[in-house]
Each structure stands twice: as structure tokens, then as C-alpha cells.
Structure 1
Amino acid sequence: MDAAIDPGIDPAWLGEVHPDIVAIYRYWRGKAAARPMPSRADLDPADLVPYLPSLMLVDVEPGPERPNYIYRLVGTREVAVRGSDPTGKPVTTHCFGRSLDDALENYDQVVATRAPWIDRAQLLSFDAMILDLDKLFLPLSSDGRAVDIILVYTVQEKLS
């Protein structure tokens, strides 16, 4: 098994990130058990209540050149950062990031490695009132092999 998806090996960045990122990662890892990644059905939103405003679920759909990424669920704080709700819309037309290429690379990395990914770039919200900090991308799989949903959690800081 590839060390990047070995359930017994935590990523090196885990010791450098916000405690909320660690908590979400540990929850995801616990739900995966001995598998490389859990399924969406393994997750219980009731367990994630404090984190839901900053959480997103992004569907991974097959595409001709790369997967299509569609926002399935977008938390209220994520909507506030963006200034609009992208639920049901593709990442290609509704991403929030330095660039579309950077956003897609995060999702592509998770699909290719089937492993957690961290993006540490800082971004200001559309109204410059919230700072996006660490962004955690976690793969979910209904068959235990192919990533079909990506759970994204972002640490945000409200600016004065």
C-alpha cells in the first residue's frame, strides 16, 4: 500500500495546522478505520455540528480530460466568504481561490493520490471581512477505491 494512503501514517503537515483541521482529519481517519478512506455514508453530520459552517462536500464526476467537480453542500461561512452560494454548481465556474488552476489542482491531487491534502494559501473573502487560512481536502469513496466525493474544511478568521 502507498504510504500516502496508509491508514497508519499521518501526514507530516498535521502537526503544523489549526486544531480544527486536526479534529476533522482525526474524525475522517477514524471513520475510515483500516480502509484508505471512508464513504459519505460513514459520516454523521451530527458529529460535525461545530464545523458545518466551514465545510463543503464536492462531488467528483467523470469527465473527458479530468473529473468534473460539483459543489454538493456548502456551509454558511463558506457562502459568506464567497458572497454567493455555489451549491449544485461546478467548481470550474464558481471556485474561490487564487486561480481556477490552483483550485482544480487541489481536487485533482486528492483524486490522484486518494489521500488528504492541505492548501495553506491565505485568501480574503469577497468583502475583505474574513480571511481563509488552511483548507483541508479529504477523499471519500463509496467503493473504497475511487474518490467520488471530496470533503473540504476551511479555517476562517473574521477580521475587524
Structure 2
Amino acid sequence: MPSEIREPAYPVPGDLDDERFRWLFDYWRARHRDGKLPGREHIDPLDFPQLLGRLYLVEVVREGGRLRFWFRLWGSRIRGIFGHDHTGHWLEEIAAPGTLADIEAALSACTLEARPFFWRRPMMVESAEYAATRRLVLPLAADGKTVDMLLGLIIEDWRELPSQM
């Protein structure tokens, strides 16, 4: 990555330990220009084909003083983790029971604060394989300032299998 990247003005979580999170985070930071956020047009999926199945893209819709989140893309790998495709749906249509407020708060914080958001969520759907997911959400802004899209990366935490005695 270019050496002119300055340290971010926001904390970088210690849990951002997976190289895929770090790579996407550094890629996003490298696309900032003159202190402005990158827009969707600055992100080229051909630069990271290895991550495509784990990515999601959310359009931020401002409606009557309220933020709404429309899933424009939901990667094939994360579709496999959750068992369904969120592409073409509003957040409130697809959130698992009891999760809407937390997910909406995370996406809203990323949008309103114009900074990355990272968190770990336990699996809310029955899964024999996965205990949780870790998520990185990066703000994008066509005008460099007002967040209008969110780029997310999801990596699953595998459930530990009981040891065989």
C-alpha cells in the first residue's frame, strides 16, 4: 500500500486481525483523496476477486429524516453462511428476529460518523458450522463526504467441535 496513507483518526479494532479485513481496510484507505471518502466509483471489484463472495454492498437511503438500508449485493459465500440472499431487500425485511436494532445501529453509526465499523455477532440462525460472524463495514460517498453506500465484509467464526475422547 502507498506510504502516504496516514493513520486513521478513528480507532482500529484489535479484532481486525484477519488479513482479509486488513487488506480491504487498507485498500479503502488508499482510495481516500484530499481527506475525502472514496465513492463506489473508486472501488474496483476486479482488485479483490478473492473477497467477492464475502462482500455486501448497501445503499443508504435517506427518507423523511430516517436512514434505511437497501442491500444491492450479497455475496455467494455469505449467502451460504446465512442460507439466503439479501440482494434486493431492505434491512428490515431480512433481519433475523431480535437483530434489527443492533444491525441498524451499526450501519447508522458507520453512515452518520463516516467511519468504519467493526463488530462480531453471534449466529442468530441455526448453524452447526458457525458460532458467529465478524463484520467490517466501510463508508463510501460519491461526493466524498455524505455517505451513500456501505461496503461490508463478513468472515465466519467456526464453531468449535467437541473433542473426541
TM-score of the pair, normalised by structure 1: 0.85
Question: 2:40 corresponds to which residue?
Answer: 40
- In 1, Cα distance between equivalents of 2:97 and 2:57: 16
User: What's the CA shift string for 1:76-116, capped at 9, x where partnerless?
Assistant: 11111221111110011113586100010011001110111
Q: Separation in 1 of the partners of 2:111 and 2:147?
A: 6
Give yes or no for contact 2:57–2:71 (8 Å, CA) kept in 1. yes
> Which moved further from structure 2: 104-113 or 33-42?
33-42
Match of 2:55 in 1: 55
Counterpart in the other structure of 1:3: none
**Is 91-100 or 143-152 further displaced after alignment?**
91-100
Q: What is the letter of the counterpart of residue 156 of structure 2? A: Q
**Contiguous gaps of at least 5 residues in structure 2:** none
Cα deviation 1:31-64 (Å, max 9, x = unaligned):
1233331110111111111111110000001112
Partner of 1:13: 12
8 A contact 2:13–2:118 mirrored in 1: no
Counterpart of 1:30 in structure 2 is: 30
User: 3-state DSSP class of the match of 1:106?
Assistant: helix
Tell me how many residue pairs correspond in the alignment. 154
Task: Report which of the two structures shows the higher radius of gyration computed on alpha carbons.
Answer: 2
* 1:91 counterpart = 2:91: yes
The sequence identity of aligned pairs, in percent, is 24
How far apart are 1:158 and its partner, in Å?
Answer: 4.6
- Structure number with higher helix proportion: 1
Unaligned runs of 5+ in 1: 1-6
Q: Following TM superposition, by how much is the alpha carbon of 1:144 offset from its aligned partner in structure 2, in angstroms?
A: 1.0
Indicate how the Cα distance of structure 1 residues 30 and 97 shifts in structure 2: closer, same or farther if over 3 A, else same.
farther
RMSD (CA atoms): 2.1
Tell me the secondary structure at the aligned position of residue 121 of structure 1. Answer: strand
Aligned to 2:116: 116
Structure 1 residues 97, 38: CA separation in 2 closer, same or farther (over 3 Å shift)? farther
Cα distance 1:103–1:97, how it changes in 2: closer, same or farther (>3 A)? Answer: farther
Structure 2 CA distance for aligned equivalents of residues 146 and 124 of structure 1: 31
Compared CA separation, residues 36 and 14, structure 1 to 2 (3 A): farther
Evaluate the alpha carbon distance shift between residue 98 and residue 29 of structure 1 in structure 2; reply closer, same or farther with a 3 A threshold.
Answer: farther
Q: How does 1:59-138 map to 2 (within 5 A)?
A: 59-95=59-95, 99-123=99-123, 126-138=126-138
Letter in structure 2 aligned against 1:12 = P
Output the CA distance in 1 between the equivalents of 2:57 and 2:19.
Answer: 20
Question: Which residue matches 1:153?
Answer: 153
CA contact (8 A) 2:118 2:134 kept: yes
